[in-house]
Amino acid sequence: MLHRIGEGEDEMGRSITALVVLIGMLAGLNVGASAQEPSWPEVKCARYKKAWSDALARTGRKGLGQEFLDRHEAFLSSGCTTKADVCPRSSEELALANMMVVAAMNAGTASTFPPFACRKER
C-alpha cells in the first residue's frame, strides 16, 4: 500500500501526542496519590507516643494507677490534642511524668505539650 508523503506522519504525530498526554496524566496521578507530609502536631504526637512506649518498656507499669494509664491513653488516642488532665499521684507516676516532659522537650516540643496536670478539686 502506497501512502502520500506526510500521510503516515500525521497519524504518527497524533499517536505521539496522545502518548505524551497519557504519560502526563499518569504522572499527575502519581504526584497526587503520594502521601502528604504529616503536620507538626502529628509529628509531635508520633514522637511523644514513641517516647511513651520506650519509657514504659524501660520502667514497667509497677506503681502506675489505672486512672493515670487510662487518661494518658485517652490523650494519645486523641492525637495528643485533649486538655491536660493526667495527674501523677504515686512516686512512679511522677517519675514517669518527669521523664516524659524531658523526652518531649528533647523531641522538639514545649514542656507544656505532655498531658500532665493536677487540678484542684472543689
What pLDDT is stored for residue 88 in this prediction?
Answer: 98
Closest CA to 103 of 25, 46, 31: 46
pTM of the model: 0.69
Calpha distance 47→121 (Å, rounded): 32
* Residues pairing with 30 in the sheet: none
Domain chopping of the chain, boundaries: 1-34, 40-106
Query: To which residue does cell 499517536 refer?
Result: 15
Condensed to tens digits (0 to 9), the pLDDT of residues 58-91 reads 999 999 999 999 999 999 999 999 999 999 999 9
What pLDDT is stored for residue 60 in this prediction?
Answer: 96
Task: Specify the DSSP class assigned to residue 114.
Answer: S
Per-residue confidence band for 26, with pLDDT thresholds at 50, 70 and 90: low
